[in-house]
Chains A and B, each alone.
Chain A
Amino acid sequence: MSLAAEISAPALEFEQLDVAFRVRGKDRQVLRGVNLTVARGESYGLVGESGCGKSTAALAAVRYLARNGRVRSGAIRIAGKDVLALNGSELRRLRANDVAMVYQNPGAALNPSLKVGAQVMESFVARGVARREAGNRALEALQRVQIADPASVLGRYPHQLSGGMQQRAIIAMALAKNPSLLILDEPTTGLDATVEAEVLDLVSQLQAELQTSVLFISHNLGVIAKMCNRVGVLYAGRLVEEGPVRTVLNDPRHPYTVGLLRCIPRGGARKDHGRLDTIPGFLPQLGAEMPGCVYADRCPLADERCVAEEPPFAEIAPGHATRCWYHELAPDLPRVLAEDITLPQVSREGVPVVRFDDISKIFKQRGHEVRALEGISSSIWPGETLGVVGESGSGKTTLARTLLGIVDPTSGVIELDGRELAPHFTKRSPDELAALQIVFQNPDSALNRRHSVQRILLRSLKKLAGVKGAEAERRALELAERVRLSERTLTQKPVQLSGGLKQRVAIARAFVGNPSLVVCDEPTSALDVSVQAAILNLLVELQAERGVAFLFISHDLGVVRYISDRIAVLYLGRLMELGTAEVVFAGPHHPYTEALLSAVPTIDGAVRERIKLEGEIPSAADPPSGCVFNTRCPRKVGAICEQEEPPFVEVEPGHWMRCHIPIEELRRLQSAGAPPSREDVVPIP
């Protein structure tokens, strides 16, 4: 191929790409005839739920499939080069010079026993830069990704960096080669919203600067909306819709895209206003033969034609194509809603189900005192959901663990129904244990993989509800039905269940003893959005039915807003803001809450001014003096913030805040728009 042709060729091209994995002696097709083009300088988003082939596409692009995977047919071209035809050394050159990949888990992508500097240097050395020169280049690369204190980062080990810094270091390595194509596979999924926002800003800025083409893989439509020009929706290894990102997200024309968008709680959706849409059914089995449309068995529009004959990938508007016979009906797809329920009004008159009274927790760590929680006082009333938000390290999980008695508070008292609870769970009565249960984040590790669902439920029934034998079996079946598991599930082990079903089992387990409060620790963050919607619906149903209270921890503000009655915002172990969900979201907000809210990318593409939080969350071992947020606060007023910790006061009925700025002033400031970035703030003497 001539040089000129190479330059004009698209950055990445998949042509009728079929990829199969050999599992248990059979080829299972994972990508089915994918056609996709990432133009030069373009940012192309690939979305879809887990198992639809997103990562396979990314790995196939650089021929890095697992050993049992292979490209069955089709072509892959990077900058016009036929990737499948390359020999070993050409392939190595391609990976060294032209393509860079950034994966989801930055901790696992860095070698834990080599210093960051050595690893960043390596990516230069691999391109033939002399070792001596590589050190300087590594420093430059870290400067370019705006990592704090790059010179010292070079000498540190990966575990000494926060997740955001690790991901920056990896981006620095990826960009070391000045790649023509950058593949980002869920690069911000494990990060806090504030850090995510910064990393995304960095990527867009560098992309604009370097004119890199990007293949951006994510399950998060908000992130895709923010980062990409065009988007492709992948379902069961088939591209079902593709087009400009605004068009696809605002006017989706494939039932799957429509369903996906409707599952997400957004635009201020609340549990008492309506249920979430779900997508019934499952992703087809890996490698299933499907003569018709891949989505037919889950699609509300599907008829015989859809099952028998696959629709063509038809262009319905310039650049916008969809694979659906009835794409003109897709926008008005019948909604798949759970039946309506009425949630009882939460009364905050009587005795709260749980009351925290001045809870503090200090962890002793090699002579340091880490203040994980500092004077938390709050109550949760029957039938209420208290959402807890904050960045990682803010104390959300410690608070939940103190409540459950896994962590003893250093000081303070927790009351259950007005009676003081023993600090440690081993000292609590079976009734108290049954009253406080938890649904964990990761359903895979929450269930014993050697025990059947039945055994898991029966054991919990015995311990928490005190029932045995036939009565227990009846109750187990009843519970299974209640969380919409079929009877057959009871005999199965967790491996045989999908993530959503596993989480249902975990929920059933938490509910065996009629709990008065269930801690939900990010219960949907490991699940796909359609599954998330179903799980949230289930939790709300259980709440309406049984009047259970939830302590709901999540980093997803849309989810928290949907399910919570009140929201607590934590920062460095302190309550910064507490109020009803409406008030916390509508404002005036605490400056920290304001920053958290502004960090979330929106799907509808509404442009919001983002409030940048400078730097990392400070160490709880050495919290800043005065207001702990003063080092990052964009609305810092002056010396008082550094000297005096503001009290946590009720600024308006039911709305508590810890800030020196009076609420009226906050209201005025926040209606005027985002504050200037910190560098421009002239310190008030």
Chain B
Amino acid sequence: MSVVDPDLIGPGAGGAPPTLVAPASEARTARNERLRLLLRTPTVLVGAFVLLFWVTFAILGDRITPYDPIFDQSQDVLVGPSSEHWFGTDTLGRDVFSRVLAGSRDILLVAPAATLLGTVLGTAIGLVIGYFRRRVDDVVSRVIDAILVLPVILTGVVVITALGSRSPLIVTILIGIVFAPLVARTVRAAVLAESELDYVQAARLRGERAPYVMFKEILPNVMPPIVVEFTVRLGYAIFAVAGLTFIGLGIQPPSPDWAVQVFEYYSFVDPYWWATVFPALAIASLVIAVNLVADGVREVYER
């Protein structure tokens, strides 16, 4: 040992007596340790708080908003912020504040679902190409490189136009497929490194088949980069969903989704700024919150 890494200073480095076991009292699981570290980081706490706020409103939605975000339409059309309507009203006289509060539901369904799809797909691809290497890796990696060239929004426009139908489901699948190669690349690198370790060889030498080695032996050991990748991707997914919605291809009205609102009212932004700016700020707050948490997760896992 050349350099003392305090994290590596295990309990007993000593001998092998007949019945003694190295003291385990110190051996707290890595997971608990990570969680503790995460919760001690102020930026993560801020992000988590904002995220929790939006998740709460996504779940409770119109049950706790002051007005119904879709059906409470009044005669007061495009009225500026007041004590009655904190964020003003829109073209149909709906309360923007209520719509902003309720507007997180669709994006908080679509974006995580898309990210999850991309992560699962990407993990499977990454495991396969990282484990088999050679021909499989050569071919799939080239395809991945090709897909990575495509910008999400542009691909979205082309695919959705070609399909001729718009729905959140299509957006979910689309973003999932576009993200999968990115995740696959990260997972592949981790699997390549992991496959070099002797336990993988030991598993093969007792006759384990490839799926067992990949999913039972290697996968648990490459979870940290996958978790990091998921949180980072989630931020991008929110952005992508909002972007596609903004050009009319994602979530559709009358959903009070923030990007739908921005899409509907940005042409009135001067002088009726409130109908656009508040939903836009809400999108920003969500993306920033997710990124704060993602940064914290990365810090903790990649220490």
- Chain A residues proximal to chain B, CB less than 8 Å: 21-24, 28, 30, 49-51, 55-56, 59, 65-66, 68-69, 103-105, 108, 185-186, 278-283, 285-286, 298, 404, 406, 425-426, 430, 433-434, 437-438, 440-442, 445-451, 459-460, 463-464, 484-486, 488-489, 492, 495-501, 503-504, 506, 509, 528, 530-531, 534-535, 538
Contact = CB atoms under 8 A, between A and B. Distances in A.
A496 B27 contact: yes
Given A438-B205, A528-B13, A498 B22 contact: yes
B16 A496 contact: no
A486 B21 contact: yes
B71 interface: no
A451 B219 CA distance: 12
Contacts of A22: 6
Contact of A531 (B16, B21, B202, B207): B16
- The residue in B4, B204, B207 that gathers the most chain A C-beta atoms within 10 A of its C-beta is B4
A442 B198 contact: yes
B-side interface size class:
35 or more
Contact of A65 (B4, B9, B33): B4
A501 B22 contact: yes
B138 interface: no
A529 to B, nearest CB: 10
A492 B29 CA distance: 11
Contacts of B19: 484, 486
B275 to A, nearest CB: 51
A286 B9 contact: yes
A186 B2 contact: yes
A504 B17 CA distance: 11
B12 interface: yes
A430 B207 contact: yes
Interface string B219-230: 011000000000
B214 to A, nearest CB: 13
B2 A463 contact: no
Interface string B193-208: 0000111011111111
A484 B26 contact: no
Contacts of A286: 9, 11
B253 interface: no
Contacts of B6: 21-23, 66, 68-69
B18 interface: yes
28 contacts: A21-B4, A21-B9, A49-B13, A51-B13, A59-B4, A69-B4, A280-B20, A281-B20, A282-B14, A282-B15, A282-B20, A285-B23, A425-B205, A440-B201, A445-B199, A449-B221, A451-B220, A484-B16, A484-B18, A496-B24, A498-B13, A498-B15, A498-B16, A501-B22, A534-B15, A534-B17, A535-B16, A538-B16
Contacts of B12: 282-283, 285, 498
Nearest to B18: A484
B221 A282 contact: no
B20 A404 contact: no
B10 interface: yes
Contacts of A441: 198
Interface of B: 1-7, 9-24, 26-28, 30, 33, 197-199, 201-208, 217, 220-221
Nearest to B25: A285
Given A486-B19, A500-B15, 4 more contacts: A21-B9, A433-B205, A464-B206, A496-B24
Contacts of A51: 9-10, 13-14
- The residue in B10, B22, B30 that gathers the most chain A C-beta atoms within 10 A of its C-beta is B22
Contact of A499 (B13, B204, B217): B13
Contacts of B198: 440-442, 445-446
A428 to B, nearest CB: 8
Given A440-B198, A486-B21, A104 B2 contact: yes
B199 A59 contact: no
B188 to A, nearest CB: 19
B197 A445 contact: yes
B221 to A, nearest CB: 6
- The residue in B14, B205, B206, B217 that gathers the most chain A C-beta atoms within 10 A of its C-beta is B14
Given A66-B6, A450-B220, A496-B24, A531 B14 contact: yes
B24 A492 contact: yes
B109 to A, nearest CB: 32
Contacts of A448: 199, 203, 217, 220-221
Contacts of B202: 438, 440, 446, 506, 509
Contacts of A503: 16
Contacts of B33: 24
Contacts of A464: 206-207
B14 A463 contact: no
- The residue in B16, B17, B33, B197 that gathers the most chain A C-beta atoms within 10 A of its C-beta is B16
Contacts of A498: 10-16, 22
A298 B198 CA distance: 33
Nearest to A495: B27
Contacts of A485: 21
